[in-house]
A and B are shown apart, each in its own frame.
Chain A
Amino acid sequence: MKKLVFLISLVSVVMTAALASAAEPIKLGYLAALTGEYAPYGIAEVNSAKMFFDKLNNAGGVLGHPVELISYDTKSRPEDAVNAVRRMIESDKVVAVLGSNTSSINLATGPLVNAAKVPQIGTATTNPAVTVDENGKVYPYSFRICFTDPYQGTIAAEFAYNDLGKKRAAILWNVGSDYAQGLREFFIAHYKKLGGEIVIDEGYRDSDVDFRAQLALVKQSGVDFLFLPGLGRDMGLIIKQAREMGLDNEQLKVVGGDGYGEFMIDIAGNALVGTYWITHVNYYDPNMQPIFKEYQEVYKEEAKEFGNVTLAYDLAKWVTDAIERAGTAEGPAIAKALEETKGLKLMHFTLTIDPTDHNPLNKPGIILTIGEDLKSAFFKEVAPK
């Protein structure tokens, strides 16, 4: 019996050694909502990252190893995300977690990745608490590739107050979302500082689809500006219902945050014409066209959620660069390389990381507007002050 055990362990040791010598893949996790209401964003991200790594592997991989991307579905639920990340770290042994695009998710998985010393980089996790604790101290293994909500809230408030000339505002927001809550707070703070007044501030729940009761209050109050710090479906339905209630674009200008998704045009159609959205990516930037074209060729469908496609692609590029600079595929070394990123030329901007809060430095915000042709159009770029 003892001999048998010895023999088996010997065989397994030999086999592991043999496998390791044949360029073992570097494993990266991708965390995204692949089913459920926010799947359109998540699927676009995983597809885009996969497209990047497939190309990379064909060209020889990184540090001589191919990259294996392992994606898990969060179903947009923090509890599922925690399980997924645990599985990535403990059984898949990933060296970094890419995604998710939701602050609530990365807030939940933060303690886990920091304890395991595996860096996690969010694509659109704009809530500041994702990377720093309440005392402003940075979590060593939490990163983001996007701007933050205070910054986004500032852009929105200034755009509404100065560019649109709206001094009174209404806000409808999802009370169950960390993202919405944060963005709303930062918007209100800056808008008030500018001299604006918040007249209506109403909440709704995650599963809500009918917003007419809240919109009736907006209509009643006569406020002609609405700020939406929500996600695609809610915002699409709110705008659609507002227009149905007779609040046209003249009576109610709408500005929303980066929860904007192109699928909102399917939901709300004409109702969206004339609305403004603060996002990360300028779709019409010539630098980005190759990614969208490639995406179309690989997946036989348009890169509709172009913001997510670009963020995920650039994230994949950034992580690859960090692994290369680290010279080894180990969590702590990768985290250090991520932190030291300086002047890295990505597709949609040039990335330098602020080591004190793990935010990209001076990342520009893009304001989109929806035209008569039901396409999003570049409106202006807002450079940070």
Chain B
Amino acid sequence: MQFQILIQQIVNGLSLGSVYALIAVGYSLVYSILLFSNFSHGGFLVIGGYICYYMLALENTQFWTSFINSESALARVFAKIWSPGLISNIWFASAVSLIGAGIAAVIVEKMAYKPIRERTPTTLYILIASMGMSIVIENLFVVTIGGRYKAIPPVIPMQTVELFAGATTSAFDLLSLATSVIFLAALQSFLVKTKWGLAIRAASCNLKVTGMMGVNVNRLIAIVFFVAGMLAAVGGIFLSARYTLYPQLGGNITTKAFVAAVIGGLGSLPGAVAGSVILGLAEMLTTGFVSSQFRDLIVFTLLIGTLIIRPGGLFGKSIVEKI
């Protein structure tokens, strides 16, 4: 009996942890370059979720029909690649959502952070700007789209899958786990195999020196934000399919992802993944064996404990100026 609960909660913890990981890695990536915690990261996640939702809903709307029937140049280009069912295809919608969230992240950086980082080396100001940005994004959705819950149409399979020892999971969890692994692996190979990846790794050691070596720092930062925005959108699509979509979705879950990134060591990508899995497991096991009411108590004690014993987190590199 106890063993079965243990297996079930470990399965649940891994699946929750894999979604935390997608978000935590985005945090850590930005942190590793600019040394500040980007609190508007949750906003990118929500942007990704909404783009996916509206793409899926778009095909049957008046707007779309009139657009395709119009004779504008854009419509003619679009009509060439368009086939019935394409827009409401989850893969296409996800791709648009990823790119859209990536672009949104770049725009946020250019508008809100770039002017600050060009004027002052103190990252505290960017941190505060990012807190403001997260509230701005959330409320933009509240006033334009409204606070109502949106459910992504059931395009992602949700059937129950029986595992060993009586534990169960859903096809959705397996898919989200697989997707997380694929994206994290792709990120890793981008960082290791490409020239820009090399530049990003160099910048995470020292941004200034990287700039002096002839790397276009602004473009590098734009790429980092684009990648972080894309990862957030992947998390956003899975989160909104599972927990429905609403403007506050980002805030609730990214606090957890942030804690995971800190436990793992801000700025370290393997650390972010490890921290997410540890957090997911800790949450599920606490509920399974202690009580759900102790969950946050234990999770945040874990955070403080980690910071006391290893201030830089499990995989952290340095402890100077971590905010």
Contacts and interface: CB of A to CB of B under 8 A. Distances in A.
Interface in B93-152: 142, 146-151
Contact of B296 (A205, A217, A244): A205
Contacts of A64: none
Interface in A158-185: 175
B246 A37 contact: yes
Interface residues of A, number: 30
Contacts of A237: 243-244
A74 to B, nearest CB: 13
Contacts of B151: 266-267, 269
A35 B138 CA distance: 11
B168 A213 contact: no
A209 interface: yes
Contacts of A263: 148-149
A304 B244 CA distance: 18
Contacts of B253: 209
A35 B292 contact: no
Contacts of A214: 287, 292
Contact of A220 (B1, B12, B283): B1
A128 interface: no
Contact of A245 (B168, B283, B284): B168
B309 to A, nearest CB: 26
A169 to B, nearest CB: 17
A210 B8 contact: no
Contacts of B288: 213, 216-217
A213 B4 contact: no
B147 A35 contact: yes
Contacts of A212: 12, 16, 284
A236 B244 CA distance: 10
A21 interface: no
A263 B292 CA distance: 26
A40 interface: yes
Contacts of A245: 160, 168, 170
A290 interface: no
Interface string A249-268: 00000000000000100110
Interface centre among B146, B148, B253, B292 (most CB of A within 10 A): B292
A269 B154 contact: yes
A210 B160 contact: no
A207 interface: yes
Interface residues of B, number: 39
Nearest to B143: A35
Contacts of B243: 209-210, 237
A217 B295 CA distance: 14
A281 to B, nearest CB: 20
Contacts of B284: 212-213, 216
A384 interface: no
B75 interface: no
A259 B313 CA distance: 41
Contacts of B62: none
Contact of A267 (B8, B244, B249): B244
A236 B172 CA distance: 18
Interface in A195-246: 202-205, 207, 209-210, 212-214, 216-217, 219-220, 233, 236-237, 244-246
A36 interface: yes
A37 B244 CA distance: 11
Nearest to B151: A266
A138 interface: no
Contacts of A209: 239, 242-243, 249, 252-253
B5 interface: yes
B148 A39 contact: yes
Interface in B135-191: 142, 146-151, 154, 158, 160, 168, 170, 172
Nearest to B162: A246
A216 B8 contact: yes
A370 to B, nearest CB: 15
B76 to A, nearest CB: 34
Nearest to B284: A213
A39 B141 CA distance: 13
B194 interface: no
A246 B160 contact: yes
A207 B252 contact: yes
A157 B292 CA distance: 24
B7 to A, nearest CB: 10
Contacts of B168: 245-246
A202 B287 contact: yes
A221 to B, nearest CB: 10
Given A203-B293, A205-B296, A269-B151, A244 B170 contact: yes
A217 B6 CA distance: 10
Contact of A204 (B150, B249, B286, B292): B292
A205 B255 CA distance: 14
Interface string B252-277: 11000000000000000000000000
A309 to B, nearest CB: 15
A244 B150 contact: no
16 contacts: A35-B147, A39-B148, A175-B293, A202-B293, A209-B239, A213-B9, A216-B5, A217-B288, A220-B4, A233-B149, A233-B244, A233-B246, A236-B244, A244-B158, A266-B151, A269-B151
Interface of B: 1, 4-5, 8-9, 12, 16, 142, 146-151, 154, 158, 160, 168, 170, 172, 239, 242-244, 246, 248-249, 252-253, 283-284, 286-288, 291-293, 295-296
- Closest 6 pairs between A and B when the two form their complex, measured CB to CB: A213-B287, A39-B147, A209-B243, A246-B160, A207-B252, A203-B293
